[in-house]
Amino acid sequence: MACCPLMEGGLQRRCFNQRKDEFLIDTSNRALDWQIQKGCTEWGAKRFELYGLGRITANALHGKTHSVRLREIKRTNVRGDEYIQSVNVDWKESDGHRQSKSFSIKKHGGLKEAYHFAGIEAAHRKAELTGGVLNLPDFTYDLSVIS
């Protein structure tokens, strides 16, 4: 049996029975050929190749990627109050090394702005790692505050 992830979610499965005068390796090759052909027509050759190499998962193909994530770095002051110091973007390079980039709330002027710049960085990293399209997050500044 061979499986291929579909664009709308789920898997398409296909069984390959061994023919009378065929070796088991030939049946496996037919299944692999079908999987590659179906994956390339469904996702495109480049993205399906990245999927096959393990750089993206079936969930990442559906936009639920765990390869790049945003997280808050919290600190505690001397009084014991917890506060958010920065927003980090964490990802894993194709060679397996973990990387991160920090966006300080002080440097960027507030939590909303730090999340904005971290979101842009995360979108760039996702597009770079998955060979996909760059989807920037929506963000609008409140211009009434600036005078």
* Per-residue pLDDT reduced to its tens digit, 25-66: 777 788 878 877 887 777 777 666 666 655 555 544 444 444
Domain ranges of the chain: 2-61, 68-130
pLDDT for position 86? 93
Nearest one of 123, 127, 70 to 101, comparing CA atoms: 70
Question: What value does the mean pLDDT take over residues 135-141?
Answer: 54
pLDDT for position 74? 92
pLDDT for position 128? 79
pLDDT for position 142? 47
Q: Which residue is associated with the tokens 């009084």?
A: 79
Which helix H or strand E contains 37, and what residues bound it?
Answer: helix 24-43
Please tell me what DSSP assigns to residue 10. S
For CA atoms 41, 43, 46, 50, give the dihedral sign: negative
Tell me how many degrees the CA angle 21-24-26 measures, rounded to the nearest 5: 75
**Predicted confidence band at 101 (pLDDT cuts at 50, 70, 90)?**
very high
Burial of 125 (0-12, 13-18, 19+ CB in 10 A): buried
pLDDT greater than 50 at residue 130: yes
Cα distance between residue 98 and residue 120, in whole Å: 19
> Could you tell me how many residues make up the chain?
147
